């Protein structure tokens, strides 16, 4: 007699058949489904990897925004992330770039209050990173106590696209100055405006760090005949414009030897927010904020050590990933491993495996239960007509009645023979056949001699 041909199956299919009693077809389908889910999880792990390059929109060369971006570029490079820097005119242009599809920009510095009416649903703030004071320099033999005193003068309000331009127009309008003659608004960049002020071609200039260099500010502070405006009404401005902050520049803080400034000066200005697109890879959020902490966490003339970055929410919502960072710092894996990319990969693997385990393990445990219940249900369905037939066999029987019951029993047995059950249900299957044989024997014994 020839030996039965051995069937080659995948180990998982064999395990499902032998462990849970699955039929070969069901075991194959289940194994293919599990394989497909694992493949999809692997594809997600690969495709969700953070990019190795980012683009940031900064500010003009020499501005504080550009200095921030240069520091970010150096520190991110140590983690294997290349940062491309796109110069701009300042906050307004940065905001426009972040909302545009081309060029693709991932990050940017934007001062608070630049565009309060814009729709910013596609952008998220990673937090405030610095104060951005407004510097107002003017030529006058006597100090100016209110901005309203600049009416009728030639005023540089910053280049179009800069945060300086937006804030200067807002504060001047609040003082009744709209640029109508004899007042003249001049839209120049920081270097050109400061040079014009020194040459006597302008009476006042508005400057901010998003468009003015530190050297330009120091030059104006040291220039004779040029005064730095003291915001005596700083508290009023801060209460009227929620995005502004009151800052104090101490006497002599710029130059102790020359005692510049000669007295404490109050300044106002917004904070600078580090803004990202809504779809920024979550893994990059932590490393960017770690870099921001190193760049902006030091003490300076206008801020305390560790004051920034901070989750100060203004027009833009703080991203969910940034909130988690500010609450608990970097994740455990990022703190444990020095390699950002290794920690990121392990984190993605855990994110993929844990939900799969929570779903697949209960499913694998319930699937054999449901399968066994379906097989048992098939067997129980065969018992119903058998029990009914046996009840009908009680009482007085004649030969014709017995033959009719035997025909019904043959039909029940034929339906049982068509059942396909796994080997683990063989005992129940043969018990059912034994009960059919038992009923047939009783019926035959009841036929009259």
As a whole number of Å, the CA-based R_g of the chain is 40
On the question of pLDDT at 334 being above 60, the answer is yes
3-class DSSP assignment, residue 274: strand
Write out pLDDT tens, residues 288-331: 999 999 999 988 888 889 899 999 887 889 999 899 889 888 77
Question: pLDDT of 79-132, one tens digit each?
Answer: 889 999 999 988 888 999 999 988 889 999 998 877 666 678 889 999 999 999
Specify the 3-state DSSP secondary structure of 272.
strand
Q: Specify the 3-state DSSP secondary structure of 445.
A: helix
In this structure, what token pair is assigned to residue 97? 């770039």
And the tokens for 343? Answer: 């920690």
- The secondary element (H helix, E strand) that includes residue 73 is helix 64-77
Q: For 393-408, what is the mean pLDDT? A: 82
On the CB side of 423, CA atoms within 13 Å amount to 5
Residue among 76, 51, 121 at smallest CA distance from 283: 51
* Alpha carbon 303 to chain centroid, angstroms: 29
**What are 123-162's pLDDT values in tens digits?**
999 999 999 999 999 999 899 999 999 999 999 999 887 8
Tally of CB atoms within 10 A around 173: 11
Q: How confident is the model at residue 7 (pLDDT cuts 50, 70, 90)?
A: low
Average pLDDT, the chain: 85
pLDDT score of 335: 73
How many residues in total does the chain contain? Answer: 449
Compute the distance between CA of residue 150 and CA of residue 422 in angstroms, rounded to an integer: 95
Q: Quick check: 1 pLDDT over 50?
A: no
Distance CA 352, CA 38 (A): 9
Q: What is the pLDDT of residue 187?
A: 93
User: What's 420's DSSP letter?
Assistant: -
Cβ atoms 161, 59 nearer than 8 A: no
Give the pLDDT score at 291.
93
DSSP 3: P
**Structure tokens of 165?**
């331009």
Tell me the pLDDT band of 24, cut-offs 50, 70 and 90.
confident
Reading phi first (left if > 0) and then psi (alpha if -120 to 50, else beta), residue 62 is in: left
Instruction: Give the residue with greater pLDDT, 157 vs 447.
Output: 157
pLDDT of residue 117: 60
Q: Which residue has the higher pLDDT, 388 or 55?
A: 55
């Amino acid at each position: 007699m020839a030996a039965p041909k051995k069937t080659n199956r995948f180990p998982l299919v064999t395990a499902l058949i032998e462990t849970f009693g699955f039929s070969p077809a069901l075991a194959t389908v289940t194994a293919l489904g599990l394989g497909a889910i694992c493949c999809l999880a692997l594809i997600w792990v690969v495709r969700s990897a953070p990019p190795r390059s980012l683009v940031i929109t900064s500010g003009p060369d020499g501005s504080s925004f550009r200095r921030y971006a240069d520091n970010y570029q150096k520190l991110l490079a140590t983690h294997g992330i290349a940062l491309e820097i796109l110069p701009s005119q300042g906050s307004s242009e940065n905001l426009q770039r972040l909302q545009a599809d081309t060029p693709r920009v991932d990050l940017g510095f934007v001062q608070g209050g630049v565009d309060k009416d814009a729709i910013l649903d596609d952008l998220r703030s990673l937090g405030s990173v610095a104060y951005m004071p407004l510097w107002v320099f003017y030529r006058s033999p006597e100090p100016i106590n209110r901005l309203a005193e600049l009416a009728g003068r030639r005023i540089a309000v910053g280049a179009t696209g800069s945060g300086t331009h937006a804030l200067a127009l807002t504060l001047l309008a609040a003082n009744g100055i709209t640029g109508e003659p004899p007042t003249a608004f001049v839209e120049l960049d920081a270097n050109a405006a400061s040079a014009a002020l020194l040459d006597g071609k302008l009476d006042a200039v508005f400057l901010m760090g998003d468009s003015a260099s530190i050297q330009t500010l120091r030059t104006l502070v040291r220039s004779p005949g040029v005064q730095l405006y003291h915001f005596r009404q700083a508290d009023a401005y801060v209460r009227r414009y929620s995005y502004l902050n009151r800052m104090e520049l101490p006497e002599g803080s710029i130059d102790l030897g020359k005692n510049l400034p000669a007295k404490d000066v109050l300044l106002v200005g917004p904070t600078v927010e580090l803004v990202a697109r809504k779809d920024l890879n979550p893994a990059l959020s932590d490393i960017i904020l770690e870099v921001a902490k190193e760049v902006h966490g030091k003490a300076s003339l206008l801020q305390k050590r560790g004051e920034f970055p901070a989750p100060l929410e203004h027009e833009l919502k703080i991203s969910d990933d940034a909130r988690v960072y500010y609450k608990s710092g970097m994740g455990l894996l990022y703190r444990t491993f020095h390699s950002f990319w290794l920690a990121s990969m392990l984190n993605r693997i855990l994110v993929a495996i844990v939900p799969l385990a929570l779903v697949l393990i209960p499913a694998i445990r319930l699937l054999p239960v449901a399968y066994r219940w379906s097989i048992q249900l098939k067997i129980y369905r065969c018992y119903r007509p058998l029990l009914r037939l046996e009840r009908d066999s009680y009482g007085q029987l004649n030969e014709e009645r017995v033959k009719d019951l035997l025909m019904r029993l043959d039909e029940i047995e034929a339906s049982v023979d068509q059942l396909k059950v796994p080997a683990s249900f063989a005992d129940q299957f043969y018990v059912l056949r034994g009960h059919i044989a038992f009923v047939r024997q009783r019926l035959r014994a009841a036929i009259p001699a």
